[in-house]
Amino acid sequence: MKSVVKQEFQGLNGDEAVALAVKQSDVDVVAAYPITPQTIIVEKLSEYVANGEVETEYVCTESEHSAMAACLAASATGARVFTATASAGLALMHEMLFVTSGCRAPVVMAVANRALSAPLNIHGDHSDAMAERDSGWIQIYAENAQEVYDSTIQAFRIAEHLDVQLPVMVGLDGFIVSHTLENVRVLEDDVVKEFVKTRQFPVVLTHEGKTVPFKLDPDTPMTMGPVALQNYYFEFKRQQEEAMKNALEVIEQIHAEYAQLTGRSYGDGLIEKYKTEDAEIVIICVGSTAGTVKTVVDELRNSGVKAGLLRIRTYRPFPVKELVERLGKVKAVAVMDRSMSFGGNGGAVFHEVRHGLYDAASHPYIVNYIYGLGGRDTSPTQIRKIFEDLQKMLQTKQIGDLVRYVGLRE
């Protein structure tokens, strides 16, 4: 492995880490509307623009729906585009999320994951992004500020890859990651610029019979996202699914390239496994809670318990094959969900994992734990209890309740 490039520590919270990554990634247009807990991102970016530190065009919009519309339009002209949002803001973008992915616009967006009203709550959970899992966006969830920084830089390469051409959401847990100051290793501007390169374009056949780069240009006019009824809509949706499949490989490739450069990696970029090689009981989770789980896994390992963690870093596309491979000899699994799918017999992550395991050679016990809604803290004691539940399951050979709640007053 090559020696890694020079990096320096900076004290940054998750939001600041996003803003710095965007500043260094040669972004042409930012169109955004501030919302807690994402506000620091757009504040920082507007500061960079006001100070003349970047050449980015900053568009203040009147709503998130307009922000995403502006991002799509800018992206269609060939610009590299970024925006950020959370909670109600993401919900307001809902319609435009589908238009953006359908137009194959490689927009990158940070989502400071936050609960949805009502009751009103500004704190961290995954309800906002999980509600958009079918919007055709790639979803990457970071564990800490460092990973947020790294993932944002990687996101531009993933989104703009010729085999992908899809928008990417980078999730950071509201307040827990977005507002917590951490030591973040930061790359030099030139290194990031060289890594992200300039935007590439696939070629498309236009109505003039020309094969031209896929972007709006007065010299090579084209129509994007027109009406496609019973005769063609289906074909375009199938193309998006193919792009998602391609993304699995591309995310791994770009993650590996970045790891080579910086010395940092998060599993294979899709799933991070922590002490799972010989694990019998495993927690699967998404986002910042993985940090707490790792601490508990270390403790349990010291006392001889074969515990492990699988952190789903890439939720869309969902790495089913990789998950099944990594679960190998595991006997009992607890899937943690920081959002609810009301009436769905478990949360969104649980559904994916359990669905994926149907084709596995062996089937571990698998249960779901809903936790941390509205920013409720999840302690090491609670994680320990989950592992104890799994051990008990192995002893008694009884699953018990399929869906449980962590830290809820019963």
Partner 1 sequence: MTSKEKTWKEASPAGVCWKSSRTYLTGDWKTYTPVRDVAKCTKCLQCTIFCPDGAIHWNEGKGDIEFDLNFCKGCGICANECPPKAIVMKIE
Residue 9 interacts with partner 1 (CB under 8 A): yes or no: no
Query: Which strands make up the sheet holding 168-173, listed edge to edge?
Result: 57-60, 29-32, 81-85, 108-113, 168-173, 138-141, 314-316
Q: Is 224 an interacting residue with respect to partner 1 (CB under 8 A)? A: yes
Q: Which stretch binds partner 1 (CB under 8 A): 98-106, 186-194, 333-341, 351-359?
A: 98-106
- Closest to partner 1 by CB, 104 or 311: 104
Judged by CB under 8 A, the stretch of 44-52, 77-85, 216-224, 319-327 that binds partner 1 is 216-224
- Shortest separation between residue 224's beta carbon and partner 1, angstroms: 5
CB under 8 A: which stretch of 59-67, 97-105, 380-388, 402-410 binds partner 1?
Answer: 97-105
139 lines the binding site for partner 1 (CB under 8 A):
no
120 binds partner 1 (CB under 8 A): no
Build a one-symbol-per-residue string for 147-186: x at contacts with partner 1 by CB under 8 A, - elsewhere: ------------------x---------------------
Residue 243: phi, psi to the nearest 5? -60, -40
CB of 68 vs partner 1, minimal distance in Å: 16
Q: Are 288 and 177 in contact (CB under 8 A)?
A: yes
**Closer residue to partner 1 in complex, CB, 127/165:** 165
112, 178, 229, 275, 295 from 300: Cα distances, Å: 31, 29, 57, 11, 9
- CB closer to partner 1, 100 vs 378: 100
Q: Which is nearer to partner 1, 9 or 234 (CB)?
A: 234
The least CB distance from residue 111 to partner 1, in Å, is: 23
Stretch that binds partner 1, among 26-34, 86-94, 186-194, 201-209 (CB under 8 A): 201-209
Query: Which positions ≥6 away from 178 have C-beta within 8 Å?
Result: 13, 14, 15, 37, 38, 40, 112, 124, 172
238 is a contact residue toward partner 1 (CB under 8 A): yes
Interface residues with partner 1 (CB under 8 A) are 102-104, 165, 202, 204-208, 214, 222-226, 228, 231-232, 234-236, 238-239, 242
